[in-house]
Amino acid sequence: MDLQAFEPNEEITRQSAELVRRQLLLLGEDPEREGLKKTPRRIGKSLQFLTKGYGEDPKAILQSALFEEDYRQMVIVKDIDFYSLCEHHMLPFFGKVHIAYIPNGKITGLSKIARVVDVYARRLQVQERLTTQIKDCIQETLEPLGVMVVIEAEHLCMQMRGVQKQHAMTVTSDFTGAFNQAKTREEFMKLVIG
């Protein structure tokens, strides 16, 4: 689905707006004041966009551009920007995803790999699960010799509240197959980080 083509569901927008309006009242705000009048509807639409990954099939995305190719070296797509919502506080976390796979007769369009990241990121998430879901999807769909995923992210739930550590970065990784060998992982990291 094209980002510009996203259309929120009006009934979900209406129901979300009612909840947000009640939350504003609980916080002691006046939902009828000029700056807040349209806020409940905006949040209803925004949440649908930020969680639109529930309605998308990441495997179908990869399969839509699947090609037979006798290439057996590492394919890396790095520095894929992503934005997600932490499932614990519904605050954003964001950063970069680096993905490598070693084909075993099948490749996919490079943009499809970035779209798989978006599908899983556009759900309520934890970074650890996001890392594994991306890896599993590529492994199960392409059946490569191995997959490695590394995510570097900042979490606003850690920066804006709680421990309030402004420059903390969380790094997660997961891998399969050929990446079980330290030498292959080291090659990936050298190519990604430099």
68, 74, 136, 181, 184 from 146: Cα distances, Å: 17, 9, 10, 10, 10
In sequence order, which ranges of the chain are alpha helices (DSSP H)? 10-26, 39-50, 58-63, 110-121, 127-142, 156-159, 182-193
Q: Which helix (H) or strand (E) holds 171?
A: strand 170-175
Q: End-to-end alpha-carbon separation of the chain, Å?
A: 34
Beta partners for residue 66, in sequence order: 108
Distance CA 194, CA 185 (A): 13
Q: Which residues are designated catalytic?
A: 86-89, 127, 155, 157
